Amino acid sequence: MVRILLALSSALAGAPSIGTTASPAVQLSFLNAPSGDEPLTDVPRLAVGVVGGPLRSAVVDTGSTGVLLSASAIPDLDRLPMLGPGVLTYSSSGRIMRGRWVMAALVVQGRSGGIVTRSMPILAVDDIACTPTARRCTPKAHPAHVAMFGIGFGRRHDGQPEATPDRNPLLTIAEPAGLPHGYTITRRGIRLGDDDKGFVLVKLGRSADGEDWVAPPACIAVDERPPLCGTVLVDTGITGMFLTLPPDRLRGGDGRTLPTGSHIRIDLTPTGGGPAMRFTVRAKDRNDPAAPSTITLSGIGRRPPFVNTGVHFLNRYDYRYDADAGTVGYRLVQH
């Protein structure tokens, strides 16, 4: 293991030093982190690449699990251990990423801070296809721009059958050594390690196969209608919101989105046992940095209640995931 870490450190020559000793925490500042009290306006990014290869600006995505890179961005691809073909579908856009799972260690750098992972599965993307109902998708062979840094959990049911915890790069860190499997995401970056101060924690259920945690609970209401309870996804990979409720809870609008000014209330701690945490926004409220850029109604009448908050949620709350304890946490942003 010592030889492996030394080899990885050597491969980082010329990159900002990240040290080789155990640390209680590491801060990965987003490449596009806002300054001061400014809000986050776009999806966050970190520099990601295979050890020895180029670093790409990658979208930090809690709505998926797994690192995806264009095959052309991975040096000596054919010499890497191959796990077989792979497919990952992004339901928000309708993009279908097709390629090969290979084993390689990753370098991850922020504006400040960095890590190196153990050798882990990475999807080398050979082509992009589109679902029949794709919202934002253009088919392309041999794409050169793919760089996704998926750090979510409980996503296997949503077009990601291979989204297992071993493909989450923040759970496979080799250097610095000794970091626990927990991280806090704020509008400025990711803090790796212990950071539970001020969070209201929600216990997660275990997936049926016991391999992962399931999505956290939430109760959702629009305007003054009674809430319905389902699940919530804090998704840093999109700026909009996706909402699923029965038709009788969504009066008005055109069936695809909500009228301007509609009030959305999301109770993030519906199970009790701690202080109530509530996320409220109004549709198309340009004066609220926590409001999503768009609100899309999806799966109405076909799926259980669900809300994908989008990344602007981070302008109101910090978000924490602890893979060992099986909890998520919410903390009001301190300006």
Q: What is the pLDDT of residues 242-268, one digit of tens each?
A: 999 998 888 766 678 888 999 999 999
Residue bearing the bigger pLDDT, 229 or 2: 229
pLDDT at 276: 80
d(C-alpha 283, C-alpha 36), whole Å = 26
Question: What are the pLDDT digits (tens) for 318-328?
Answer: 999 999 999 99
Residue bearing the bigger pLDDT, 63 or 9: 63
Question: What are the pLDDT digits (tens) for 21-74?
Answer: 444 689 999 999 999 899 999 999 999 999 999 999 999 999 999 999 999 999
Give the helix/strand (H/E) hosting 92: none
pLDDT at 209: 85
Question: What are the pLDDT digits (tens) for 215-250?
Answer: 999 999 999 899 999 999 999 999 999 999 998 888
* 9 has a pLDDT exceeding 80: no
* 271 has a pLDDT exceeding 80: no
- Mean pLDDT, the chain, integer: 88
pLDDT at 253: 64
* 197 has a pLDDT exceeding 50: yes
The token pair at 315 is 């302008």
Question: What are the pLDDT digits (tens) for 136-180?
Answer: 888 899 999 999 999 999 988 766 788 899 999 999 999 999 998
C-alpha 320, offset from chain centre: 11
DSSP states along 208-250: TTSSSBPPPEEEEEETTSPPEEEEEE--TT-SSEEEE--GGG-
Mean pLDDT check: name the lowest of 15-19, 76-80, 276-280, 285-289.
15-19
Beta partners for residue 196, in sequence order: none
Within 10 angstroms of residue 112's Cβ, the number of other Cβ atoms is 14
d(C-alpha 244, C-alpha 264), whole Å = 12
Instruction: For strands 147-151 and 65-70, give the pairing.
Output: antiparallel
Q: What percent of the chain has pLDDT over 70?
A: 89
pLDDT at 273: 57
The widest CA-to-CA distance across the chain, in whole angstroms, is 63
Calculate mean pLDDT across residues 126-141. 89
Residue in the structure block whose two tokens are 């209680």: 24
pLDDT at 14: 36
pLDDT-derived band at 270 (thresholds 50, 70, 90) equals: confident
